[in-house]
């Protein structure tokens, strides 16, 4: 899809959209810089690039990392809409965009946890034993 540079651009645009969306913004810390960098590494890996995210932070454990946040279907949908818009904004054509949607659509749905009895404290150790 264009490599690391495109992913960087997608994530930067995504975070601009998050910054302007009051509902979604409430899920993010006041300083977005660490989240941006982690998301760039994660998306690169998730889409088949180098495993730099896992090398630095261990197994993604994506759903578990998001347990501290009450994620509704609406919030997951907003996240997905902004992510798709960001890929589109960065020039990703429809065939590739369909692949992104096929990957990120189920992932967004999987993050919904508002009605689940899950631990709400942040995940301390992400390394699998």
Residue 46 lies in a domain: yes
Domain span including residue 25: 3-111
Give Cβ neighbours of residue 32 (< 8 Å, ≥ 6 apart): 15, 18, 19
Residue 73 lies in a domain: yes
User: Of 31-35, 64-68, 125-129, where does mean pLDDT reach its minimum?
Assistant: 125-129
Residue 76 lies in a domain: yes
Residue 107 lies in a domain: yes
Q: What confidence tens digit (pLDDT) does each residue in 49-67 have?
A: 999 999 999 999 999 999 9
Residue 118 lies in a domain: no
Mean pLDDT of 98-113: 96
Number of domains in the chain: 1
Among 78, 59, 82, CA closest to 128: 59
Write the DSSP string, 76-97.
Answer: HHHHHHHHHHHHHHTT--HHHH
For the chain, percent of residues with pLDDT exceeding 90: 90
**Which CATH number does the domain housing residue 23 bear?**
1.10.490.10
Neighbours of 26 (CB within 10 A): 11
Q: What confidence tens digit (pLDDT) does each residue in 4-22 have?
A: 999 999 999 999 999 999 9
């Amino acid at each position: 899809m264009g490599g690391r540079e495109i992913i960087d651009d997608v994530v930067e645009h995504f975070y601009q959209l998050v910054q302007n969306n009051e509902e979604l913004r409430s899920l993010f810390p006041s300083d977005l810089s660490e989240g941006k960098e982690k998301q760039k590494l994660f998306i690169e890996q998730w889409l088949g690039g180098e495993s730099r995210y896992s090398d630095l932070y261990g197994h993604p454990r994506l759903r578990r990392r998001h347990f501290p946040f009450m994620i509704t279907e609406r919030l997951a949908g907003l996240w997905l809409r902004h992510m798709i818009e960001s890929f589109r904004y960065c020039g990703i054509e429809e065939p590739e965009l369909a692949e992104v949607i096929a990957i990120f659509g189920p992932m967004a749905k999987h993050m919904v946890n508002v009605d689940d009895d899950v631990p709400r404290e942040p995940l301390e150790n992400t390394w699998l034993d």
